[in-house]
Amino acid sequence: MRNNYREKTTIEIELFTWGLDLLTAEAAKGESGRLCRVIARNKGAYDLTDGQREFSGRLSGKMLYGIESAEEYPTVGDYVIYENGVIQKIIARHSVFMRKVAGTRRDAQLIAANIDVIFICVSLERESSQAAIERYLAAAYESGAKPVVVFTKGDLMANAKDKAVQLGGRVQTDAVAVSVKDGDIAAVTELIGRGVTAAFVGASGVGKSSLVNAVTGANALKTGQTRSDGKGRHVSTRSELFCVPSGGVVIDTAGMREFGLIDIDTENAFSDIEELAKRCKYADCRHENEPFCAVKEAVERGELSKERYRSYIKLCAEAQKRRKPR
């Protein structure tokens, strides 16, 4: 009789060329089934690779019914256990880049997981505010991956590289300038060595897909111009993962018109909690360990859900981080 329970995970050695790290391989060891990486997410199904073959997989019924928040769904870059024709579980992520969506109940949109580097792409074509870049930086630092600001379309500005150095100093992050048009992309490719997974994020039209096409040497992705008023469709509509010939892995993502991380107006989104907070003993109560906290008391009485309380606290912490003077 077959006893899957005692079997070990099958790990194709080729999965290492898809970014697999030893910690993840170790974590998967005790599982039965096949270790795969998510390369794209479709409606209801995922494109997976085990390193040898690519195929499509759905979530197991058990997994699907157990899901309580958006973060429990697999996302591009995740390592999953595939067995009996379905995805059985996600291996713990070492990083995850997400976007907070204002005003919706599902409070996070996962963009990519298990990434080492996040290229925050900013076009030199247009003026962009430092505040917008800092919003991406805050999310990148939160993700656990290392952010690098990438000025794109360097061919459009004479002193692109100086500008990158200046900005890098101001926001205390590495910053580089590239041009796909001039074939000047070494500053990015040298950061995508063997075993490294990098994600390209940024506004629509900054040239993320063009860069991914250039570093992979394949023209797999559609690129193009969106209307200059910012309306109209984004060219890319999902995250997608590719191998780079030099050994790393890159993830293209859909452009964002606005990065709604800390733009969320806590007063509107959490007016019930703000109302409660007026009754806290201390005016500067953070609703964590302070005595006589009306918010925590409401949680204890079951009038405010723990989940909602937690997302509120998380959001406040992020807003706090952003406001901190450098």
Ligand X SMILES: Nc1nc2c(ncn2[C@@H]2O[C@H](COP(=O)(O)OP(=O)(O)OP(=O)(O)O)[C@@H](O)[C@H]2O)c(=O)[nH]1
Residues near Zn ion (CB under 5 A) are: 280, 285, 287, 293, 295
**Is residue 181 close enough to count as binding ligand X by CB under 6 A?**
yes
**Is residue 236 close enough to count as binding Mg ion by CB under 5 A?**
yes
* Adjacent-strand bridge partners of 59: 87
Interface characters, 237-266, with ligand X (x: CB under 6 A): -----------------xx-----------
Select 99 or 286, whichever has its Cβ closest to Mg ion.
99
Number of residues that bind Mg ion (CB under 5 A): 4
Select 15 or 188, whichever has its Cβ closest to Mg ion.
188
Question: What are the helix and strand counts (H, E) for the chain?
Answer: 10, 14
- Which helix (DSSP H) or strand (DSSP E) does residue 320 occupy? helix 306-323
Distance CA(55)–CA(119), nearest Å, equals 28
**Is residue 235 close enough to count as binding Mg ion by CB under 5 A?**
yes
Select 69 or 228, whichever has its Cβ closest to Mg ion.
228
**Is residue 209 close enough to count as binding Mg ion by CB under 5 A?**
yes
User: At 104, is the secondary structure helix, strand, or coil?
Assistant: coil
Site for ligand X in 269-288 (CB under 6 A): none
Q: How many residues does the chain have?
A: 326
Distance CA(189)–CA(162), nearest Å, equals 19
Place of tokens 């800092």: 134
**Is residue 179 close enough to count as binding ligand X by CB under 6 A?**
yes
User: At 99, is the secondary structure helix, strand, or coil?
Assistant: strand
* Adjacent-strand bridge partners of 197: 249
Question: Exposure pattern of 209-234 as b/e (b: 16+ CB <10 Å)?
Answer: bbbbbbbbeeeebebeebeeeeeeee
**Is residue 153 close enough to count as binding ligand X by CB under 6 A?**
yes
Among the listed ranges 159-167, 217-225, 262-270, 300-308, the one in contact with ligand X (CB under 6 A) is 217-225
Select 211 or 273, whichever has its Cβ closest to Mg ion.
211
Site for ligand X in 219-238 (CB under 6 A): 223-226, 234-236
**Is residue 210 close enough to count as binding ligand X by CB under 6 A?**
yes
Q: What is the DSSP letter of 248?
A: -
Residue 231 CB, nearest approach to ligand X (Å):
12
User: At 222, is the secondary structure helix, strand, or coil?
Assistant: coil
Select 22 or 283, whichever has its Cβ closest to Zn ion.
283
Residue 235 CB, nearest approach to Mg ion (Å):
5
